[in-house]
Amino acid sequence: MTMTTPPETQYATASDGLKIAYQVSGDGDVDLVFMQGAVAHLDLAWEDPRLSRLFERLGSFSRLIRFDRRGMGMSGLTDRAATLEEQVADFATVMDAVGAERAALFGTIDAGTIALSFAADHPDRTAAVIAFETSPRFTRTGEDDFGIEPDVMARFAEATQAMDVEVQLSIVAPSRKDDPAFRSWFRRYTRSAQSGIPIQVVMMTMLSWDITDRLPDVGAPVLVLNRAEHNLLPVRNARALAAALPNATLVELPGRDTAIFSSDVDAVADEIEAFLTGTRPPPRMDRVLATVLFTDIVGSTERAASMGDRDWRELLERHHRLLRAELDRYGGHEIHTAGDGFLATFESPRRAIECAAAAGRAIRSIGLDIRAGVHTGELERSGDDVQGIAVHIGARIAGLAGAGEVFVSSTVKDLVTGSGIAFEDRGEQDLKGVPGTWRVFAVAPS
């Protein structure tokens, strides 16, 4: 893991004498004060490549001012959970320390609630607010669309208290939970971030907050960001929050991760840059090494014709639900679907193969068969789309497979050597539009 050297940590003194740790990076024209939610640690955050990428992107158009909340990370310890009012005041403490009379405020999860409270209390000091995956109230009452479902909250609280990384990541960062380096960093990050206050006490304090009646007082423009399919805070929160604010812009991002550092941080930075500066950066073509999985339904045209549009549409929706469940289970990232075909990417070729096989079994239960193709290569990533020759190779390999079959390239076969997955050689194949011939293998039935 490549680590970016953190900026110097400095300390501001709150009115009660507590030291608040902060860092300043970037040289943009906009002052952006950023508090992360749930847990945070100023220095360790730079060790995650996606978080450091986010900080660098934000610093390209702002003076980025990040701070650890009181009792957490590098800030001073406390003997009790901090109140909402104390944490609102800490925004002002840090702004005073860096000479920011007026600033844009950025908060994730419960830190977004704190930022909105500051904006309601201090309109003269608030230029804008970015509220990422947040809610004015986290306890679900059923009276409106705010809050976390009680069973999800209970599972997350139990996993957090027990330091059960597997369950924690399945909720907040499912797309990265199978990355060993990320798991190791996340374990250190969450343990180092927490103070001596029991985490369940901190969470219970957060669950007591309710600022719904203050939302009309937030006069500053607010960017409400929410990933569309994540587990902790459903997108209904974001829609209700944007509707309740006088001047809000809602952006629903693709993905199912709650943690800001889990999915495409460039997409998050793009929206914030456009919101604060009025200028959207040009599309980037980042080249990354990844595994692509293509699937489609065998004989879909004939089946659709025999069933009729309505019945076929209902069956297709069941197919989509089953396939997406397996993508979620194996850490796949859905790129797009066209008709009955899916394109997804994985960080692990073994996971892509396992996902394809499991999806085939699940979808066979509803009377359909799919074919699948897997290839690993360098992709051009632009936003949430992927392009490049590796994508074409994966698509062509999928087209060679028959009902219930998973075909892979020789590249994938070599990468999973020792995994216990068996293959059957299907010989050299010409792939339309791809130079040369390619050796293709079928995954042997387990």
Q: Is residue 97 part of a domain?
A: yes
Structural domains counted in the chain: 2
User: Domain check: are 434 and 415 in the same one?
Assistant: yes
The half-sphere exposure of 24 on its side-chain side, counting CA atoms within 13 A, is: 14
What's the confidence (pLDDT) of residue 4?
A: 60
Residues in CB range of 20: below 8 A, 6 or more apart: 11, 12, 13, 14, 67, 68, 69, 70, 75, 76, 90, 93, 94, 97
User: Domain check: are 258 and 326 in the same one?
Assistant: no
User: Domain check: are 332 and 395 in the same one?
Assistant: yes
Instruction: Give the pLDDT band of residue 198 (cuts 50, 70, 90).
Output: low
What's the confidence (pLDDT) of residue 400?
A: 95
User: Domain check: are 337 and 380 in the same one?
Assistant: yes
Residues in CB range of 332: below 8 A, 6 or more apart: 293, 326, 344, 345, 346, 351, 352, 355
| Mean pLDDT across 196-211 | 76
What's the confidence (pLDDT) of residue 182?
A: 81
Q: Is residue 400 part of a domain?
A: yes
Q: Is residue 365 part of a domain?
A: yes
Report yes or no on whether pTM surpasses 0.75.
Answer: no
Instruction: Give the pLDDT band of residue 163 (cuts 50, 70, 90).
Output: low
pLDDT at 63 over 60: yes
Q: Is residue 4 part of a domain?
A: no
Q: Write out pLDDT tens, residues 72-113.
A: 889 998 888 889 999 999 999 999 999 999 999 999 989 999
179 burial class (0-12, 13-18, 19+ CB within 10 angstroms)? Answer: middle
- Of 229, 258, 277, at which residue does a domain stop? 277
Q: Is residue 33 part of a domain?
A: yes
Instruction: Give the pLDDT band of residue 160 (cuts 50, 70, 90).
Output: low
Q: Is residue 2 part of a domain?
A: no
| Mean pLDDT across 378-403 | 87
User: Domain check: are 165 and 271 in the same one?
Assistant: yes
Q: Report which secondary-structure segment, H or E, holds 394.
A: helix 389-400
Amino acid identity at 321 = R
Q: Is residue 5 part of a domain?
A: no
401: domain CATH number is 3.30.70.1230
What's the confidence (pLDDT) of residue 187?
A: 83
User: Domain check: are 271 and 305 in the same one?
Assistant: no
Picking from 67, 73, 77, the residue whose alpha carbon sits closest to that of residue 17 is 77
Instruction: Give the pLDDT band of residue 263 (cuts 50, 70, 90).
Output: low
Lowest mean pLDDT among 234-238, 268-272, 319-323: 234-238
> What integer best gives the mean pLDDT of the chain?
89
Instruction: Give the pLDDT band of residue 256 (cuts 50, 70, 90).
Output: confident
- Of 224, 250, 277, at which residue does a domain stop? 277
Tokens of 242: 């944007």
Structural domain of 147: 10-277
* Other CB atoms within 10 A of residue 73 CB: 23
Q: Is residue 3 part of a domain?
A: no
User: Domain check: are 238 and 301 in the same one?
Assistant: no
What's the confidence (pLDDT) of residue 140?
A: 87
| Mean pLDDT across 391-411 | 94
| Mean pLDDT across 32-52 | 89
| Mean pLDDT across 178-183 | 78
User: Domain check: are 268 and 295 in the same one?
Assistant: no
User: Domain check: are 271 and 290 in the same one?
Assistant: no
pLDDT at 314 over 60: yes
Share above pLDDT 70 across residues of the chain, in percent, rounded to a whole number: 93
User: Domain check: are 83 and 156 in the same one?
Assistant: yes
User: Domain check: are 16 and 90 in the same one?
Assistant: yes
User: Domain check: are 268 and 318 in the same one?
Assistant: no
Instruction: Give the pLDDT band of residue 1 (cuts 50, 70, 90).
Output: very low
204: domain CATH number is 3.40.50.1820
- Of 233, 248, 277, at which residue does a domain stop? 277
